[in-house]
């Protein structure tokens, strides 16, 4: 499977003072003094996901069918099990973790709140891996969530399929559990739920 095509037209819609790198269809836009959140917000809607990580604009291809199937089925399971003190939301939804960092988890769980209140730090974020540039979720975004203090981070790989549960211990993520195929996995935070990887992709 080849990486998604990035056209010259796509790049010309981005800030002209940035240096462009392309990795497996993901565009990284950098400049010496870094970009602000307002700069990212000016990027036009070009059917890509736009995030900002430490002042670098990251523009990712839209997810494929296996990604969306896993995301949707997981979100439904989480919503069905969610207690009243939490709410579960599918992405994309901006989560700002710093003055120059805004990311968009695939699924997130938040403490319940008044809809007019500022969005609190999620208690759980979930990333469903795409076929391309997996390091963006496995390394870059993991580092963002860890630094922000998000207590639980799940990684769903629809290709294996697998579910990996990471929890924050002494400011570092530690793998608590992992399941493949028809194996069951039970998470206890932010609330208890049992999942089977194959159920998310069949």
Claim to verify: residue 48 and residue 72 sit in the same structural domain: no
Claim to verify: residue 15 and residue 52 sit in the same structural domain: yes
Claim to verify: residue 153 and residue 188 sit in the same structural domain: yes
Residue 43 lies in a domain: yes
Residue 83 lies in a domain: yes
CATH of the domain at 173: 3.90.1570.10
* pLDDT tens readout for residues 56-80: 999 998 888 999 999 999 999 999 9
Share above pLDDT 70 across residues of the chain, in percent, rounded to a whole number: 96
* pLDDT tens readout for residues 156-190: 999 999 999 999 999 999 999 999 999 999 999 99
Claim to verify: residue 108 and residue 146 sit in the same structural domain: yes
| Closest to 35 in 3D by CA, of 20, 22, 24 | 20
**139 and 110 Cβ atoms separated by less than 8 Å:** no
Residue 157 lies in a domain: yes
- Note the pLDDT of residue 46: 85
Residues in Cβ contact with 78 at an 8 Å cutoff, skipping those fewer than 6 apart: 88, 107, 109, 193
Claim to verify: residue 71 and residue 42 sit in the same structural domain: no
Claim to verify: residue 150 and residue 172 sit in the same structural domain: yes
Claim to verify: residue 52 and residue 150 sit in the same structural domain: no
- Note the pLDDT of residue 32: 94
Mean pLDDT to the nearest integer, 94-104: 95
Claim to verify: residue 23 and residue 95 sit in the same structural domain: no
Claim to verify: residue 54 and residue 113 sit in the same structural domain: no
> What domain range includes position 102?
65-200
Residue with the larger pLDDT of the pair 46 and 41: 41
Residue with the larger pLDDT of the pair 37 and 62: 37
Kindly give the pairing relationship between strand 26-30 and strand 152-157: unpaired
- Note the pLDDT of residue 2: 59
* pLDDT tens readout for residues 125-151: 999 998 877 888 899 999 999 999 999
Claim to verify: residue 76 and residue 45 sit in the same structural domain: no
Mean pLDDT across the chain: 91
Residue 70, classified by CB atoms within 10 Å of its CB into exposed (0-12), middle (13-18) or buried (19+), is buried
Residue with the larger pLDDT of the pair 82 and 131: 82
Claim to verify: residue 85 and residue 185 sit in the same structural domain: yes
Q: Which of 61, 84, 100 is the C-terminal boundary of a domain? A: 61
If residue 74 lies in a helix (H) or strand (E), which one and from where to where?
helix 65-81
- Note the pLDDT of residue 114: 62
Claim to verify: residue 75 and residue 151 sit in the same structural domain: yes
Phi first, then psi, for residue 92 (nearest 5°) are -80, 135
Number of domains in the chain: 2
Q: Which of 61, 78, 102 is the C-terminal boundary of a domain? A: 61
Q: SS3 for 97?
A: strand
Residue 2 lies in a domain: no
Q: Which of 40, 61, 82 is the C-terminal boundary of a domain? A: 61
Residue 186 lies in a domain: yes
- Note the pLDDT of residue 190: 95
């Amino acid at each position: 499977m080849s990486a998604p095509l990035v056209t010259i037209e796509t790049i010309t819609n981005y800030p002209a003072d940035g240096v462009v790198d392309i990795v497996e269809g993901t565009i990284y836009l950098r400049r010496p003094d870094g970009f602000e959140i307002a700069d990212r917000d000016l990027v036009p809607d070009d059917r890509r996901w736009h995030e900002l990580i430490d002042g670098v604009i990251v523009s990712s291809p839209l997810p494929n069918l296996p990604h969306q199937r896993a995301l949707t089925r997981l979100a439904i399971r989480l919503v069905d099990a969610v207690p009243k003190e939490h709410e579960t939301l599918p992405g994309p939804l901006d989560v700002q973790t710093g003055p120059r960092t805004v990311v968009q988890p695939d699924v997130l769980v938040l403490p319940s709140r008044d809809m007019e209140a500022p969005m609190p730090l999620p208690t759980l974020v979930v990333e469903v891996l795409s076929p391309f540039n997996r390091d963006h979720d496995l390394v870059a975004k993991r580092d963002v969530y860890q630094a922000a203090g998000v207590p639980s981070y799940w990684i769903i790989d629809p290709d294996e399929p697998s579910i990996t549960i990471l929890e924050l211990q002494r400011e570092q993520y530690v793998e608590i559990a992992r399941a493949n195929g028809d194996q069951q996995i039970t998470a206890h935070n932010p609330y208890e739920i049992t999942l089977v990887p194959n159920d998310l992709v069949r």
